[in-house]
Amino acid sequence: MRIGVVTFPGSLDDTDAARAVRYAGAEPVSLWHSDRDLRGVDAVVLPGGFSYGDYLRCGAIARFSPVMGELIPAARAGLPVLGICNGFQILCEAHLLPGALTRNAGLRFIHADVRLAVTDARTPWTAGYSAGQVLNVPVKNGEGAFVADEATLDELERTGRVVVRYADGAPNGSARDIAGICNAEGNVVGLMPHPEHAIDPLTGPSADGLGFFTSIVAAFAGAGLGARA
């Protein structure tokens, strides 16, 4: 399986995302922001960082980059996409996911290990987990508070599209302790915590995050990728 990792100017966790893809047994493929080309990959990770310096708003400029011009219709057509941190912000700016990420409550950058409850294990990115499983994964961001109007939040919860939740309460003021969500089809997942930094206890708090990457590899090996269970 070939999984693309997009590098925007200011992407920082792209090498980490590529390493996680490799640990999961897939081939990471580097995608460049100004290329209108997805190079035939089977899935895409939008990594963390400060694309375009977070100018204007986090993700607001990246969303208009040439590679996103290819990615947005492909995601709408079912291509699995995982947005981590800045990648989640970009997915929201691109309207592939609802809501927005705003400044942390407390107004400071927060880096901490958090307990993350998997609430939707049906997406191709989380199918390897069991619902209710708790992961130990780091967050690190300045603008990680998920916000949306009440109707959207209700809709997300009613349709089971909250993928991961902060098990001990959101450290950043996220609405309803939401840490990650997916689109209606389940192929596009965005989350603020960094599963790619929890793939090996040597360099992270655990290996719990590797499941996001092994899940997509398993989903690809099986059938029905892109179709929601």
Instruction: Name the residues annotated as catalytic.
Output: 85, 194, 196
Among the listed residues 53, 66, 132, 169, the single contact to another protein using CB under 8 A: 53
Contacting range for another protein; rule: CB under 8 A; set: 66-74, 106-114, 143-151, 210-218: 106-114
Cα angle for residues 111, 80, 203 (degrees, 5° grid): 30
Cα–Cα dist 165/179, whole Å: 5
Decide: 101 and 143 in contact? Cβ < 8 Å.
Answer: yes
The minimum distance between CB 78 and another protein, in angstroms, equals 30
Give the closest residue to 13 by CA, choosing from 199, 161, 211: 199
Contacting range for another protein; rule: CB under 8 A; set: 37-45, 108-116, 126-134, 211-219: 108-116
Q: Report helix angle 210-221 to 14-23, nearest 10.
A: 50
Among the listed residues 135, 192, 194, 219, the single contact to another protein using CB under 8 A: 194
Among the listed residues 41, 50, 118, 156, the single contact to another protein using CB under 8 A: 50
Binding mask 141-160 for another protein (x = CB under 8 A): -x------------------
Q: How many residues does the chain have?
A: 229
Among the listed residues 39, 69, 77, 112, the single contact to another protein using CB under 8 A: 112
Beta-carbon count within 10 A of 27 CB: 13
Give the closest residue to 66 by CA, choosing from 9, 135, 150, 148: 9
Among the listed residues 3, 4, 5, 19, the single contact to another protein using CB under 8 A: 19
Give the closest residue to 163 by CA, choosing from 127, 199, 137: 127
Closest to another protein by CB, 67 vs 79, is 67
Contacting range for another protein; rule: CB under 8 A; set: 8-16, 122-130, 183-191, 207-215: 8-16
Q: One-letter amino acid identity for 39?
A: R
Cα–Cα dist 47/70, whole Å: 17
* DSSP structure class, residue 11: B
Q: Does residue 36 interact with another protein by CB under 8 A? A: no
The minimum distance between CB 110 and another protein, in angstroms, equals 6
Among the listed residues 110, 134, 167, 207, the single contact to another protein using CB under 8 A: 110
CA atoms within 13 A on the CB side of 202: 1
Q: Does residue 55 interact with another protein by CB under 8 A? A: yes
Would you tell me which residues interact with another protein (CB under 8 A)? Answer: 9-10, 12-13, 15-16, 19, 48-50, 52-55, 108-112, 138, 140, 142, 194, 196-197, 202-204
